[in-house]
Amino acid sequence: MNYEQELLHRLIDKYEKSKAFLTGVFTRKIALTAAQEDWIQRRMENPEEKRLFFAVLKDLKESGLIDYSWERFEQGNLVDKIWLVPDEAAVRACYKRLGRRPAREEAESLAELIREYRRRLATENSLARFLADYEEELRAKGQIRQYFTHEPELNENILKCLIFMEQNQGEQLERLMSSSLYGDSKYFERHVKSKVLAILRAVKRREQEEGISDSMPEDDELLLEKGVVRWPEILEFTGRLRVALDDGNVIDYGPQVCGAYINSETVKHAVSVEAEGIRRVLFIENKANYVWYISQNHSRDELVIYHGGCYSPMKGRWFRMVHEGCRRQAAEYLHWGDIDVGGFRMFARLKGQIVPELMPYRMDRASLEAYRGQAMEITSAAYLKTLERMENHPEYEAFHEVISLMRRERIRLEQEQMIV
């Protein structure tokens, strides 16, 4: 155990959280009280460790870096307080002895690194705004707080991953992405993943505050939105489709009337989708409703697709191929989701990005009134404010009538309640 390193790191950590760090003026001691520090108390219990620890205290005091006091009547036996010498030169000497960079220098270096990577983002999106604000905070406070570390190489690898994900348009298996970025298939999982997820959650929380998002996805869903998966994604649907592959083979899904699926690896090799006699395409947000619908209501001239919420880049590609194939049949396109903020946003995204002909299904005022008894109460003022913005936004025109009822009654409805 390196007692010197442990002690100085703890004192410097405390210094970097003090006013003296911000102002350069020492108005009070940067001190550790031995009785409140379990790690010091443990040193006092073993005679040999105690002797070595006191030798370190003596050496650091003679070097002009720290000072300390003894408990009353326990001179040379029980240490009371240990403090940094209140002098900038002494503090700099501590950093040098530790081989540690001052927090302000670390923060400034990280701010420059973030600025460099932030410029690689093509658009001023939510991640870019988050990084810009974090960079500003680093310069203002001179400290690295949550999300990043004191290790420059790790920080760069975190940023490298974030930018890669933001620019990714396909599907990446976690370990293959890790090998590509770092030359180590397990580096992402062991060193970067938790930090990247913390940042993605922070970005999502900000979107919630801004009314852009209304729920916090699970970790796997956050990565899925960026096209990063552990294993190839399974895309479920039911209907008479034929998928032509780049090797000349054609997969006929028509006979699978109880539900079919295609995985994302196959979608990568798909060149076209042909629809046979499809007059209606229905996207369904939740799995329970999808399973219920194909078992109860599905007809042969209908294609039913499990939407699953926020779709990944690869699922988006599949939706585009299906849309192109069914458009030749002059099919109508419908979306059935929750009668809530999230459901409306999923509809708007699908309509805006892939299916301009899309119309809502069972997401109107009459549906909400029919299941009023199963509706959930809206208790959040921020949620109601988001509904107000939606009611005045042309993107959500199809829902303005039901939103008016939701705001007045303060209710919303999960689509699963319609099949209970």
Over range 375-395, report the average pLDDT: 92
Over range 171-188, report the average pLDDT: 95
Residue 22 above 90 pLDDT?
no
- Distance from C-alpha of 282 to C-alpha of 355, rounded to nearest angstrom: 11
Residue 51 above 60 pLDDT?
yes
Q: What is the pLDDT of residue 170?
A: 84
Residues 113-145 have pLDDT tens digits of: 999 999 988 767 889 999 999 999 999 988 888
Closest CA to 201 of 222, 220, 221: 222
| Domain 232-418 fold | Dna Topoisomerase Vi A Subunit; Chain: A, domain 2 (3.40.1360)
Q: What is the pLDDT of residue 210?
A: 66
Q: What is the dihedral of CA 355, 360, 362, 365, to 10 degrees?
A: 170
- Interhelix angle 400-409/381-391, rounded to 10 degrees, is 150
Residue 111 above 60 pLDDT?
yes
Check: CB of residue 184 under 8 Å from CB of residue 160.
no
Within its chain, how far is the Cα of 163 from the centroid? Answer: 13
CA–CA–CA angle 336, 340, 346 (5° rounding):
55
Residues 190-247 have pLDDT tens digits of: 999 999 999 999 998 887 776 555 567 788 889 988 999 888 899 999 999 999 999 9
Q: Which two tokens stand for residue 227?
A: 């096209």
CA–CA–CA angle 116, 162, 200 (5° rounding):
125
Q: What is the pLDDT of residue 135?
A: 95
Q: What is the chain's alpha carbon radius of gyration, rounded to the nearest angstrom?
A: 30
Break the chain into its structural domains and give their ranges.
3-98, 103-225, 232-418
Question: 């895309």: which residue's tokens?
Answer: 235
Residue 110 above 60 pLDDT?
yes
Residues 204-223: b if buried by 16+ CB within 10 A, e if exposed: bebbbeebebbeebeeeebb
**Selection from 7-16, 304-313, 356-365 with the highest mean pLDDT:** 356-365
What share of the chain in percent tops pLDDT 70? Answer: 98
- Enumerate the β-bridge partners of residue 252: 242
Residues 329-357 have pLDDT tens digits of: 788 999 999 999 989 999 999 999 999 99
- Enumerate the β-bridge partners of residue 172: 228
Residue 1 above 60 pLDDT?
no
Whether the predicted model's global pTM rises above the 0.85 cut:
no
What share of the chain in percent tops pLDDT 90? Answer: 70
Q: What is the pLDDT of residue 21?
A: 85
Average pLDDT, the chain: 91
Closest CA to 177 of 137, 221, 109, 226: 226
Q: Which residues contact 207 (CB under 8 A, 6 or more apart)?
A: 126, 213
Closest CA to 303 of 346, 349, 361, 260: 260
Question: 């996805």: which residue's tokens?
Answer: 217
Q: What is the pLDDT of residue 123?
A: 67
Q: What is the pLDDT of residue 169?
A: 85
Q: What is the pLDDT of residue 218?
A: 84
Residues 275-299 have pLDDT tens digits of: 988 999 999 999 999 999 999 877 8
